[in-house]
Amino acid sequence: MLLNAGRCYYFTNSENDMIAVPKRIKLRGLAAGPGLTFGEARVVYNWEQTIEERTIEPEEVESELARLDSAVEESLAELQTLKELAAQKIGGPVAKIFESQLMIATDQEFLRGVKTEIESKLKNAEYIYSLLVEKTIAPLRASRDSYMRQMVIDIEAVSSRVIRRLTGRTIRHIGQAPQDTIFVGKNFSPAEVMSLFERKVKAIVTSTGGVNSHMALISRSLLIPTVVGVPEAHLKISSGDRLIVDGDKGIVIANPSQDEWNELRKKKAKVTALQILKLDKLPDFPPRTADHIDIDVAANYDVPGPIDQILADHKVGIGLYRTEFIYLQNGKFPSENEQFQIYNSVAKRHYPRPVVIRTFDLGSDKYYPSDNNIKEDNPALGWRGIRASFDMPNVFKDQVKAILRASARGNVKILLPMIADITELGKARRFIRQGMTELRKEGIPFDRNIPIGIMIEVPSAAVAADILAEKVSFFSIGSNDLTQYTLAADRDNQRLAKTFAPLHPAVLRLIRMTIEAAQKHNIPVAVCGEMAGDVMAIPLLIGMGITQLSMNPSKLYNACRLIPRIKYSDIIKLAQEASRLTTLKEIESLLLNYNLSVE
Residue 307 placed within a domain: yes
Final residue before a domain boundary, out of 167, 199, 222: 167
Last residue of some domain: 167, 197, 220?
A: 167
Residue 113, number of CB atoms within 10 A of its CB:
16
Residues in the chain: 599
What is the DSSP code string of 422-447?
HHHHHHHHHHHHHHHHHHHHHT----
Residue 279 domain-assigned (yes or no): no
- Domain shared by 516 and 379, yes or no: yes
| DSSP class of 181 | P
- Contact residues for 63 (Cβ-Cβ < 8 A; gap 6+): none
- For residue 334, what is the DSSP state? P
224 and 368 together in one domain? no
Question: How far apart (Å, rounded) are the C-alpha atoms in residues 80 and 62?
Answer: 27
- Domain of residue 56: give its range: 49-167
Cα–Cα distance between 305 and 90 in angstroms, integer?
Answer: 4
How many Cα atoms within 13 Å fall on the side-chain side of residue 212?
25
Pairing relationship of beta strands 525-527 and 474-477 according to DSSP bridges: parallel
DSSP, residue by residue, 355-397: EEEEPP--BTTB----TT----SSGGGSS-THHHHHT-HHHHH
Same domain flag for 255 and 345: no
pLDDT at 47: 46
Q: Say if 153 falls within a structural domain.
A: yes
Low-confidence ranges of the chain (pLDDT < 50): 1-21, 47-48, 171-173, 175, 365, 368-374
Give DSSP secondary structure letters for 461-521: HHHTHHHHGGG-SEEEE-HHHHHHHHHT--TT-GGGTTT--TTSHHHHHHHHHHHHHHHHT
pLDDT of residue 141: 64
Strands 355-358 and 296-301: unpaired
Residue-wise pLDDT tens digits, 371-388: 344 455 566 676 788 998
**CATH code for the domain of 340:** 3.20.20.60
Distances (CA, A) of 476 to 265, 426, 525: 40, 18, 6
Nearest to 478 by CA among 518, 532, 440, 425: 532
Burial 44-73 (b: 16+ CB within 10 A, else e): bbeeebebeeeebeeeebeebbebbeebbe
The pLDDT value given to residue 133: 82
CA atoms 358, 359, 364, 367: torsion sign: positive
Verify that 464 and 385 share a domain, yes or no.
yes
Considering the domain boundaries, does residue 452 fall inside one? yes
Which of 173, 214, 234, 521 is catalytic? The answer is 214
567 and 536 inside one domain: yes
- Choose, from 350, 504, 528, 560, the residue flagged as catalytic: 528
Q: Which helix (H) or strand (E) holds 281?
A: none
Give just the sign of the alpha carbon dihedral 114, 117, 119, 125: negative
* 480 and 515 assigned to the same domain: yes
Buried/exposed code over 232-260 (b: 16+ C-beta within 10 A; e: otherwise): ebbebbbbbbbbbbbbbebbbbbbbeeee
Is the backbone peptide bond immediately before 286 cis, with ω within 30 degrees of 0? yes
Residue 7 falls inside a structural domain: no
In a shared domain, residues 199 and 237: yes
Active site residue 214: yes
Strand partners, 9: 46
CA distance 206 to 304: 23
Query: Could you tell me the maximum CA-CA distance found in the chain, to the nearest angstrom?
Result: 88
For the whole prediction, is pTM greater than 0.75? no
- Establish if 5 belongs to a structural domain: no
What pLDDT digit, counting tens, does each position of 396-424 carry? 999 999 999 999 999 999 999 999 999 99
For β-strands 30-33 and 226-228, DSSP reports them as antiparallel
β-partners of residue 476 are 455, 526
Q: Is 8 a catalytic residue?
A: no
Half-sphere exposure of 239 (CA within 13 A, CB side): 16
Does residue 95 form part of some domain? yes
- The total number of structural domains in the chain stands at 3
* Domain end position, chosen among 167, 188, 212: 167
Displacement of CA 368 from its chain's centroid (Å): 15
Coil, strand or helix at 4: strand
Residue 547 gets which letter from DSSP? Answer: -
75 and 37 assigned to the same domain? no
Q: Would you state the pLDDT for residue 132?
A: 85
- Identify whether 444 is part of a domain: yes
Q: Looking at the structure, tell me whether residues 364 and 257 fall in a common domain.
A: no
Helix (H) or strand (E) holding 526: strand 525-527
Q: Are residues 138 and 236 in the same domain?
A: no
Q: What is the CATH number of the domain that holds 32?
A: 3.50.30.10
Specify the pLDDT at position 270.
55
Q: In CATH, what number is assigned to the domain containing residue 141?
A: 1.10.274.10
Same domain, residue pair 125 and 213: no
Q: How many CA atoms lie within 13 A of 68 on its CB side?
A: 27
Looking at the structure, do residues 115 and 228 belong to the same domain, yes or no? no
